[in-house]
Amino acid sequence: MNETNDKKGETPGSGLNAPPTTETLWQRSPSNPMRWSNPRKWTIILLIAVANFFAYMAYTAFQPALATIMDDLGVKSNRGSLSTLTISINILGYVFGPIFIAPVSEQVGRRTVLIIAIPILWISIVGPGASVNIAMFLVFRALGGFPTTALNLISYAIVADLLPVERRGLGMSIVLAGPSIGPTLGPLTGGYIAQYIGWRWIFWIYTMAAGICGILVILVYRETYNPVLERRFYAARREGQKRDSTHDKDSEQSLGGNEPPIRPPPSLRQACVRPFKLMLTPVVIYATFVCSIANSYLVFSLATLGTSFQKQYGFSASQSGLAYLGMTVGFTISQFTAGLLSDSYIRKKTRNGELPAKPEQRLPILMIGAVMLPAGFIVYGWGLQYQVHWIVPIIGSAMISLGVMYNFMPVQMYVVDSFTIYSVSATGAVGIIRSIITTVFPLAGDPLYARLDYGWGNTLLAFIALTSLPMAIIFIIYGERWRLRYPPKL
């Protein structure tokens, strides 16, 4: 069954609040991605989600084997900081990636980005497995940030291309399963692979998995970016009319219908500076603040959890991989609930589409995460400090992952809904600053625990995380006013 919804009420800058316009031939065309069948839409979303999933599993799969990797690569000093850097350096792709990904995506479409990114992803996964020293290992890890970023940003945009706003939350939950659940399942599998067949096989196996998924994405995915397809649609129609020398005025008028002039694509310069212009908008400033805290805490937890359980409870590499199951549970719960809760709240506020939706209606569920995240760090930290039964810090880690996603997902949906056709530039703008902070912040893990230990160290993190609660309340009340008062000049 084909969708009847389209994006006629969504324009850049005004998000979901733009007044409806007269329906055009393109909006009625079966070629419009909003009109594609549900099976076709969800096949694309699921394929992108699976590719994203394996990319993010490879991101952390080697963490339980870091001690062995450091030994094999001859690392003698600064092992703690270098071990953390092997995880966090990947995020450098989020700093530089959007500068290239957003212009290409919004200039020529999503498919071109995927065709470039997927082979780079294969190289970045196989490279660390072939490394002979720590420098080579880190270079390939840094390279992996670009394709991972591309898959992540493009997946958000594809959901916005394909799904109407009242169903977009579920789609976002599915594509976010990779960045959330993937990094916690990676160490679980990687710990056993490293223990029984060697750490290099972690990278060989994930290269094969990512290779199969990547090939399927390239074969199945067809362009979904509305402005690019709309230009092609009208250009093809007019070219066909020029070749048809027998049509008369009446038939030309019937063919033209409600046909707007073909808008040329933005210049490359405009596309390149767009993420930086969006950085100055209230929506992106707020999203950057929340996502920086959530993502930094996520990477911090992923980088230190396995070694913390090895130190405090004497876990082996494979057992420390199992310790990530708590975070997996938290992420899984958030994936199933956050998007559905958000969509349900939107439908309630819009009376099932009778009223226009507002991007700020994505934010109320964020308050769950604003409370859950600091609570999780307190349970996790003091459980490790006093070495109570290992299930206690694992429960705390589940609360952390749940809190991270209930901060991250509503804000990402808020950004996508605010700048629908420029969602890659907008989420990229958030990612640039967020990733600089996320790359540096986890390096404080060892010094923080050395000075304050697990209990007070994680309590300090909890108090910092609590600042997202008043910020959420402020933006729920004033966000729409600020968004409309300070639109971006694109």
**Residue 252: per-residue pLDDT:** 46
Q: For 3-60, what is each residue's pLDDT tens digit?
A: 444 444 344 434 444 444 456 788 888 889 989 999 999 999 999 999 988 888 888 8
Q: Is the pLDDT of residue 451 over 80?
A: yes
Average pLDDT over residues 95-103: 81
**Residue 264: per-residue pLDDT:** 60
**Residue 181: per-residue pLDDT:** 80
Percentage of the chain beyond pLDDT 70 is 88
Q: For 380-406, what is each residue's pLDDT tens digit?
A: 999 999 989 999 999 999 999 999 989
Highest mean pLDDT among 75-89, 94-108, 233-247: 94-108
Q: Is the pLDDT of residue 94 over 80?
A: no
**Phi, psi (5° rounding) for residue 37?**
-70, 155
Q: Report the 10 Å Cβ neighbour count for 183.
A: 27
Helix axes 325-350, 177-197, angle to 10 degrees: 170
pLDDT mean across residues, the chain: 82
Give the predicted TM-score (pTM) of the model. Answer: 0.71
Residue 134 or 19, more confident: 134
Q: Which of 210-224, 233-247, 365-379, 475-489 has the lowest mean pLDDT?
A: 233-247
Domain boundaries, the chain: 30-224+268-485
Helix residue ranges per DSSP H, 244-365: 249-256, 268-278, 282-313, 317-322, 325-350
Instruction: Report the DSSP beta bridge partners of residue 2.
Output: 37
Q: What is the DSSP letter of 352?
A: T
The correct answer on CATH 1.20.1250.20 for the domain covering 30-224+268-485 is yes
Band of residue 265 on the pLDDT scale cut at 50, 70, 90? low
Q: Report the 10 Å Cβ neighbour count for 69.
A: 22
Highest mean pLDDT among 81-85, 138-142, 351-355: 138-142
Helix axes 145-162, 391-418, angle to 10 degrees: 60
Helix axes 423-440, 145-162, angle to 10 degrees: 150
Q: For 297-343, what is each residue's pLDDT tens digit?
A: 887 887 778 878 888 888 887 777 788 888 888 888 887 788 888 88
**Residue 425: per-residue pLDDT:** 85
CA nearest neighbour of 422 among 407, 430, 320: 430
**Residue 373: per-residue pLDDT:** 92
Q: For 56-80, what is each residue's pLDDT tens digit?
A: 888 888 888 888 888 898 887 777 7
Cα 86 from Cα 169, distance rounded (Å): 32
Q: For 399-439, what is each residue's pLDDT tens digit?
A: 999 999 898 888 888 888 888 778 888 888 887 878 777 77
Cα 137 from Cα 83, distance rounded (Å): 11
- Distance (Å) of CA 185 to CA 127, 178, 321, 407: 21, 10, 8, 21
Average pLDDT over residues 154-182: 85
Band of residue 267 on the pLDDT scale cut at 50, 70, 90? low
Q: For 214-234, what is each residue's pLDDT tens digit?
A: 999 999 999 998 888 888 888
Instruction: Report the DSSP beta bridge partners of residue 37.
Output: 2
**Residue 194: per-residue pLDDT:** 87
Band of residue 259 on the pLDDT scale cut at 50, 70, 90? low
In the numeric block, which tokens belong to residue 32?
Answer: 């419009």
**Residue 8: per-residue pLDDT:** 41
Band of residue 2 on the pLDDT scale cut at 50, 70, 90? very low
**Residue 167: per-residue pLDDT:** 81
